[in-house]
Amino acid sequence: MDFPAKLTPHCLRHTKAMMMLQAGQNLIYIRDQLGHEHIKTTEVYARIDSRQRQDALKAANEQIKVPDTAPIEYRNNPSLLDWLNKYCE
């Protein structure tokens, strides 16, 4: 990480908030630590962190159950073909 040419108190506050967010701290606690009156002000940090967004999407993707997409063999199944043909008349 590059050290900024001009270090401001806002930069330090922002860095601390991002570190807390990445550590899994609740936004309410971050809001209280930063002294924000409204949670909307603190939510700006949640929108910025793309790494957490990627981690959440990856975790959600791993939970998705992919159905078995193997084709159904119908050609060698006369009873299934008879049943399907009833609906094609």
Looking at residue 70, its amino acid is: A
Looking at residue 26, its amino acid is: N
| pLDDT at 62 > cutoff 70 | yes
- Check residue 38 and report its DSSP letter: S
- 5-32 pLDDT, tens digit each: 788 888 888 888 888 888 888 889 989 9
What pTM does this model have? 0.50
- 39-59 pLDDT, tens digit each: 888 888 777 667 777 887 888
Residue with token string 């050609």? 75
Domain boundaries, the chain: 9-66
Q: What is the CA radius of gyration of the chain?
A: 27
